[in-house]
A and B are shown apart, each in its own frame.
Chain A
C-alpha cells in the first residue's frame, strides 16, 4: 500500500520556469511533510518541510503548498536553474509525540527534474 503518491515521475523545465511536483497522502495521522533533494550518488538532503497548521511555507525559491482537506501538498521551484536538476522526494511522517512509535518517513517514488538552459 503506497501511502504517499508523487507525480509526475519526471519533469523537464526551461531555465527560469516554475517546477511543480505534487504529492498526495492517505494516512491522516501524518503531520509532518518534508521534501528531499537527491543528486546522483548522494544521499537525500532535506530541502524544506511543512506542518499542516500552515497552508504555505516559502524558503528562497522553494515553496510548499499544503491542502489538508484534500490531503495534498506540492513543491514549487521558482526561477528553476540547471543546478536544480535532481530527483525530488516528498515524504510524510508523524510529528506529534504520541508516547510510543516511530517517526519514520514514508516517501513518494520521486520526481526526476531536468532544468534545461
Chain B
C-alpha cells in the first residue's frame, strides 16, 4: 500500500458526461501528479500540482482540468467525455519539488460507453 488513495475505483459513464476523480496524497506529500494509462499510449503525464498551485501540464486535453485543495487532496475533472477517454487514471504523490520518488495510488478505471 503506497499510502495514496483514489476514489472511485471504477466509474462507468456515457459520452458527453462529466466526472470527477479524487486523490488523497500520502501524509506529508505536497506534490500531486495525474497520469493516464491506456493500452495504446501507455502511462502519460497529465498535470502536476504542488501545495495548491499548478506546476506543470503534460498531454492534458482542454476538456480536462484539475485542482489541489488546501488539505492537499486533488481532483481531476473530465468533461464532455468521449469513448477514447476510457482509461486508467492514476494519481501519484511526492514529498515536494526536489524529490522525485513518486508513489502511485491504485487508480480509477474510467469506462465511457
List B contacts of A107 (CB < 8 A). Answer: 42-44
Q: How far is the CA of A44 from the CA of B106 in the complex (A)?
A: 8
List chain A positions with a Cβ less than 8 A from chain B: 32, 34, 36, 41-46, 49, 89, 93, 95, 97, 101-110
Of the residues B33, B44, B55, B103, contact of A46 by C-beta under 8 Å: B103
Contact B48 A44 (CB under 8 A): no
B100 with A43: CB separation less than 8 A:
no
Q: How far is the CA of A62 from the CA of B73 in the complex (A)?
A: 33
Q: How large is the interface on B (under 10, 10 to 19, 20 to 34, 35 or more residues)?
A: 20 to 34
Interface of A is mostly: loop
A38 to chain B, nearest CB (A): 9
Distance A45 CA – B48 CA, assembled complex (angstroms): 19
Q: How far is the CA of A89 from the CA of B58 in the complex (A)?
A: 19
User: Are A43 and B56 touching (Cβ within 8 A)?
Assistant: no
> Contact check: which of B42, B56, B101 meets A110 at CB < 8 Å?
B42
A46 touches B48 (CB 8 A): no
Contact call A102/B56, Cβ cutoff below 8 A = yes
* Least CB distance, B35 to chain A, in whole angstroms: 8
Give chain A residues whose Cβ lies under 8 Å from the Cβ of B56.
101-102, 104
Interchain residue pairs with CB less than 8 A apart (6): A32-B100, A34-B101, A46-B101, A107-B43, A108-B42, A110-B43
Q: Which of B45, B97, B98, B106 contacts A43 (CB 8 A)?
A: B106
Report chain B residues within 8 Å CB of A106. Answer: 45
Chain A residue contacts of B31, Cβ below 8 A: 103
Return A64 CB to nearest CB of chain B, in Å: 14
Give Cα A102 to B53, complex, Å.
12
Complex: chain A residue closest to B94, CB-CB = A103
The minimal Cβ–Cβ distance linking B2 to chain A, given in whole angstroms, is: 7
Say which residue of B2, B42, B100 sits within 8 Å of A45 (CB atoms).
B2
Residue on A with the closest CB to B88?
A: A43
Minimum CB–CB distance from A63 to chain B (whole Å) comes to: 19
- Contact across chains for A45 and B104 when beta carbons are under 8 A apart: yes
Select which of A36, A101, A103, A109 is within 8 A of B100 by beta carbon: A103
Question: Does B79 count as interface, using CB distance less than 8 angstroms?
Answer: no
